[in-house]
Amino acid sequence: MAEQGVAEENVPMSSAQARQLLVDRIRSVGYAGTDAVEQAMRKVERHVFVPAVSIAEAYADDVVITKRDRDGAVSSSASMPSLMALMLDQLDIRPGMKVLEVGTGTGYNAALLATVVGDHGAVTSIDIDEKVVSGARVVLDNNGFAHVRTVAADGAIGQPDGAPYDRIIATVGAWDIPRSWYSQLADGGKLVVPLRWRGQSWSVGFDYLDGQLRSYSAVSCGFVPMIGQEDGERTEIISSDGFVQLVVDADQAITSESLVGVLDQEGVERWSKATIGGGDSFDGIWLRMSATDPGCCRLSAAPEAIQQGLCRPVIAHRDPALADATSVAYLTVRPRGSGPGGPQFELGAIGHGPSGDDLAQRLCAAISAWDLDRTAIPTVVAGPTGSHSGERGSGMRIEKTSTWLELFF
């Protein structure tokens, strides 16, 4: 009997069983929160869109890489199903709507969108890579989604033929919000976009009204960057050996020229008394800093820098930091015993340079403010470059090429 039981356990799941189990898991963490999104994910077969992987891999809650560029960097992929469900929840799509998707990928997300909007809705999916579009086209046609329109086009230009759209969703990372998206979105519509600023990336849900976007949700995420879009993110080296860099935006006067070697100067440690467990997220600190401090950026350190003791970031390649023309401070931790969930760590900052102590204290102040309400998310207002927000108060303004952002609590 034991041998029979083992044999039964090793029988592979069918694609249908694996799909239902995946959706059950996604629902258990609070995503696919609407009946329409849940039923679409239960119905649409993900494995036909990623035929190069096994059924188990197709229905794992993980990214499936489908294309790399000549340097080996990922240029196209099938996103984590839970993240897709979250973004579809943000989009609030309904039957009969017209939707523009920027970033066709495998075509799976377009199929989900088409299932939700139904026969009286319309989905247009665009991608700058013609091979990606043609590959998705074949799978869509062969699986009952011939009515989804696919177009090889630059996402920054959008697709004016079919506008205005009730919803626009980008499934590629965007540093900027193209002016075309403003003009192609219906007044009262919604935009969901994985948007980058100050070295971080958030899937932001925006309402569009009277020519401006106003956020109603934001969730930390990561996406393959949009190809063809002008990218205003810069990488500035700050260590003499080149192993430590800052990722900053075009509107920030933070450069390698005045910062190289700053980490060789004696560091100053400041501690916040706020603690986290090993699995706790601290992305909210970073988001708060971007809404309150003009020096907010990202520190990225190579393994060699950590091994040599040059710096002690929480996460080597993506650590929240503050910088000015001569100094830098970054987030760090130290052990603080154990709690109900396991080891605990106190959050703090290490500053280097003439104003390193001031920057470290500002970073600790942001940690303390976050610790009072770890779920607080700033409102993000956006509009085309040259327009005015109309908001009152002292929101942090971030200037991009085609758009500006204002963040405030």
- Active site members: 79
CA dihedral sign of residues 124, 130, 133, 137: positive
**Residues in CB range of 139: below 8 A, 6 or more apart:** 48, 49, 106, 107
Backbone angles phi, psi at 46, to 5 degrees: -70, -35
Count of helices and strands (H, E) across the chain: 12, 19
> Which ranges of 29-75 does DSSP label H, i.e. alpha helix?
35-43, 55-58
CA distance 316 to 362: 21
Burial of 124 (0-12, 13-18, 19+ CB in 10 A): buried
CA distance 297 to 238: 13
Q: Judge whether 161 and 186 are in contact, CB under 8 Å.
A: no
How remote is the C-alpha of 285 from its chain's centroid? Answer: 16
**Structure letter (DSSP) for residue 188:** E
Cis omega before residue 378 (within 30°)? no
Angle, in degrees to the nearest 10, between helices 108-117 and 130-142: 50
Rounded alpha-carbon distances, angstroms, from residue 279 to 86, 160, 268: 20, 44, 27
Which DSSP string corresponds to 366-388?
HHHHHHH-TT---EEEEEETT--
